[in-house]
Chains A and B, each alone.
Chain A
Amino acid sequence: MNVKDVQLTVNGKTVSAQVEPRRHLADFLRENCLLTGTHLGCEQGVCGACTVLIDGKPARSCIAYAVACDGAQVQTIEGFEDDALMHELHKAFSAEHGLQCGYCTPGMLITARDIVLRLPDANPDRIRVELSGNLCRCTGYVGIVRAVSRVLAARRDGTKIQPEY
């Protein structure tokens, strides 16, 4: 079996492994690192369930091969413990019923966080355009868009989402 050495940073920790080049990053995270918060929906890059941060930017982990991520910094949904904005998004998603089964949610949150940081003035139409790469089969998106809008508005007003947990 042809394997290569890879070393990358996952949620702040250096991880070294020997992997087949065909192992994609999502499977590396799930199978090698046991971080199962990253989900697989289509393995073609269209559903968004596998979205993680690679070097700080949202990316599809199902079409990124682990060997190609050698030396990269990867952050999965499990890696935002110290991220205040992510906590605000969690609260807003909960308050606005932005999830049901939760399968799309890790990808939705990572994309939503990127929207809030890059596009502080986004209106609901813009949010919908930016979220079009994250598919949800349960909610019909209304609660998700409300949650992101709520976080954007709170940031503009300098307030926090209630309740504080």
Chain B
Amino acid sequence: MKPAAFEYERPERLDDVCTLLAREDVMAKPIAGGQSLGPMLNLRLAQPELLVDLLRIPELRRIEAGKDVIELGACVTHADIEDGCVPGSTGSVLAGVAARIAYRAVRNRGTIGGSLAHADPAADWLSCLSALGAEAVIYGPSGQRVVPVESYLVGAFEAAMEQGEILEAVRLPAISKDTRWGFYKVCRKTGEFAQAIGAVLCDPERGVLRAVIGATNSSPTIIEDASPFFESGGPKEKPGPFNRSAARRMMVGSGLDGDDYFMQIHLIALERAAKML
């Protein structure tokens, strides 16, 4: 359970990171907190020839909380978010999600960018940030580009990035103080990866009532207008009680496919998230 040998570099500039990652002669991988990559290295599920450490790059740790937009550098840790480094209503929502990721020792080093880039379909940030309408800011040899988080996963453990690119930051709209939020994670043991995630965002000020069904073995399923899940109400007012049969129909209609257990836990995750509104 020891890794295969690798080389290690710890650059201090973002452009040097990209240069190292774009090398054709070695298989290189970036590493931030190492909480996802470390286990894979130790189990030899990943055998890169070169690790490029991102933790000395100052831009990757930035926290910019504006009135309308919040930007978090990829190397901001789950623990920092749990402890309230992001102010306001958005910060409270993020802190609540962060607190349920793994365990404190993991959260002290694990990063929001590392989690997203690892592209585990069951990860909390993937579903949470999709529900919040966040964008992934990607930096590479040709500069910066932006991809909605909901499209960031192209497959299990496969993110929409080219060789030489890294996830630089996450950018999300600030939510208003009247926003209602529900997030429920089905897992048997505290902190483990979710078997099912339900998330609902109700922001009357912006007319948003969005739901996300996550931990589905691929990209999260986004329901842009979740009004049909509820017996009354809509994007501009508080929704009424959750309508299970309507939700089940919509889940099937959106392409979700799995056995009875899979469908049931995803339905319940959504229902419990909706109850939190």
Q: Which of A20, A45, A54, A130 contacts B38 (CB 8 A)?
A: A45
Are B190 and A45 touching (Cβ within 8 A)?
no
Determine the chain A residues whose CB is within 8 A of the CB of B238 once the complex forms: none
Determine the chain B residues whose CB is within 8 A of the CB of A57 once the complex forms: 79, 108
Are A43 and B1 touching (Cβ within 8 A)?
yes
Would you mind naming 13 contact pairs between A and B with Cβ atoms under 8 Å apart?
A1-B5, A20-B5, A21-B5, A22-B2, A24-B2, A48-B105, A54-B108, A57-B79, A60-B109, A64-B38, A68-B34, A68-B55, A128-B190
Q: Closest B-chain residue to A130, C-beta based? A: B104
Q: Closest A-chain residue to B7, C-beta based? A: A2
Are A45 and B6 touching (Cβ within 8 A)?
no
The 7 closest A-B pairs by CB, nearest first: A133-B103, A63-B38, A21-B8, A132-B190, A44-B39, A43-B1, A22-B3
Looking at A43, A48, A62, A114, the one whose CB has the most chain B CB atoms below 10 A away is: A43
Q: Closest A-chain residue to B8, C-beta based? A: A21
For the complex, what is the distance from the CA of A104 to the CA of B264, rounded to whole Å?
Answer: 37
For the complex, what is the distance from the CA of A74 to the CA of B2, rounded to whole Å?
Answer: 21
Are A45 and B189 touching (Cβ within 8 A)?
no
For the complex, what is the distance from the CA of A58 to the CA of B106, rounded to whole Å?
Answer: 8
Judge if A51 is at the interface, Cβ distance under 8 Å: yes
Q: How many pairs of A and B residues are in contact by the CB < 8 Å rule?
A: 98
For the complex, what is the distance from the CA of A65 to the CA of B125, rounded to whole Å?
Answer: 25
Interface of B is mostly: loop
Q: Closest B-chain residue to A44, C-beta based? A: B39
Judge if B158 is at the interface, Cβ distance under 8 Å: no
Determine the chain A residues whose CB is within 8 A of the CB of B4 once the complex forms: 22
Are B38 and A22 touching (Cβ within 8 A)?
no
CB of B6, distance to nearest CB on chain A (Å): 6
Are A114 and B104 touching (Cβ within 8 A)?
yes
Q: Closest A-chain residue to B4, C-beta based? A: A22
Judge if A129 is at the interface, Cβ distance under 8 Å: yes
Interface size on B, residues (CB 8 A): 31
Other A-B contacts than A46-B39, A57-B108, A59-B108, 18 sampled, CB-CB below 8 A, are: A1-B5, A21-B6, A21-B7, A24-B3, A43-B1, A44-B39, A45-B106, A48-B105, A57-B79, A59-B105, A62-B38, A64-B109, A67-B8, A68-B8, A68-B53, A128-B190, A133-B102, A133-B106
**Assuming the A-B contacts A114-B104, A129-B190, are A60 and B8 also in contact, with contact meaning beta carbons closer than 8 angstroms in the complex?**
no
Are A132 and B108 touching (Cβ within 8 A)?
no
CB of B229, distance to nearest CB on chain A (Å): 30
Judge if B175 is at the interface, Cβ distance under 8 Å: no
For the complex, what is the distance from the CA of A129 to the CA of B6, rounded to whole Å?
Answer: 36
CB of A19, distance to nearest CB on chain B (Å): 10
Judge if A111 is at the interface, Cβ distance under 8 Å: yes
Are B103 and A132 touching (Cβ within 8 A)?
yes
Q: Closest B-chain residue to A40, C-beta based? A: B1
Which A residues, 140 to 157, have Cβ-Cβ distances below 8 Å to chain B? none
